[in-house]
Amino acid sequence: MSEAPANQYDARLRSEELRSLINYHNRLYYELDAPEVPDAVYDELLNELRSIESKYPELITPDSPTQRTGAAPLTTFDVVEHRVPLLSLSNCFSEEDLAAWHRRASERVGAERFALTSEPKIDGLAISLVYENGRFIQGATRGDGLRGENVTENLRTITTIPRVLKGDFPPLFEVRGEVYMSKSGFERMNEAIGEQNLEREREGRKPLALYANPRNAAAGSVRQKDPSVTAGRPLAMFVYQLGWCEGSRPASHFETIGWLAAMGFTTNPETRLHAGVDEVHPRIEWWGHQRERLDYDIDGVVLKLDDTRDWERLGYVGREPRWATAFKFPPQQRTTKLRDIATNVGRTGVITPFAVLEPVVVGGATISMATLHNEGDIRRKDIRVGDAVIVQRAGEVIPQVVGPVLSLRTGDEVEFKMPELCPTCGTPLQREPEEAAYYCPNTSCPAQQIRLIEHFAGRGGMDIEGLGERMAYTLYESGLARDVAAIYDLTAEELMTLPGIKEKGAGNLLRGIEASKKRPLPNVLFALGIRHVGFETARLLAEHIGNLEGLLRVDDESLRAIEGVGPVVAGSIARWVERPEHRELIERLVMAGVNPAMERTAAGAGGLLEGLTLVVTGRLDQISRNDAEDRIRAAGGKVGTSVTKGTDFLVVGADAGSKLAKAEKLGTRQLDEAGFLRLLEEGPAFLESAV
Q: How far apart are CA 547 and CA 529, in angstroms?
A: 17
Query: Which phi-psi region, left, alpha or beta, contains residue 279 (left: φ > 0; alpha: ψ -120 to 50)?
Result: alpha
How many Cβ atoms are within 10 Å of 10's Cβ, its own excluded?
17
In the set 55, 121, 304, 638, the catalytic residue is: 121
Dihedral angle of Cα 172, 176, 182, 187, to the nearest 10 degrees: 100
| Run of H or E including 354 | strand 351-362
Q: How far apart are CA 26 and CA 41, in angstroms?
A: 12
Q: How far apart are CA 76 and CA 32, in angstroms?
A: 12
Q: Where are the alpha helices (DSSP H) in 398-534?
A: 446-456, 469-478, 492-495, 503-516, 521-527
Cβ-contact 550, 513 below 8 angstroms: no
Q: How far apart are CA 118 and CA 302, in angstroms?
A: 6
CB contact burial 257-292 (16+ within 10 A = b; e otherwise): bebbbebbbbbbeebbebeebeebeebbeebeeebe
The question of whether 121 is a catalytic residue gets the answer yes
Q: List the Cα angle 226/227/228 in 5-degree steps.
A: 90
Cβ-contact 280, 324 below 8 angstroms: no
Task: Identify which of 82, 81, 67 has the alpha carbon closest to the alpha carbon of residue 23.
Answer: 67
Cα-flanking dihedrals φ and ψ of residue 514, to 5°?
-65, -40
Q: Which is it for the CA torsion 101, 104, 105, 111, positive or negative? A: positive
Q: Which is it for the CA torsion 128, 132, 138, 144, positive or negative? A: negative
Q: How far apart are CA 662 and CA 639, in angstroms?
A: 16
Cβ-contact 271, 117 below 8 angstroms: yes
Amino acid at 109: V
Q: Where are the alpha helices (DSSP H) in 212-252?
A: 214-222, 227-231
Q: What share of the chain is helix, strand, coil (3-state, %, to 5)?
A: 40, 20, 40
Task: Identify which of 94, 82, 93, 61 has the alpha carbon closest to the alpha carbon of residue 126.
Answer: 82
What's the Cα-to-Cα distance from 649 to each of 82, 104, 598, 643, 681, rounded to whole Å? 36, 24, 26, 9, 16
Q: List the Cα angle 363/368/373 in 5-degree steps.
A: 95
Query: Which phi-psi region, left, alpha or beta, contains residue 167 (left: φ > 0; alpha: ψ -120 to 50)?
Result: left
Task: Identify which of 483, 457, 485 has the alpha carbon closest to the alpha carbon of residue 469.
Answer: 457
Cβ-contact 335, 100 below 8 angstroms: no
Q: What is the DSSP letter of 460?
A: T
Positions marked active-site: 121
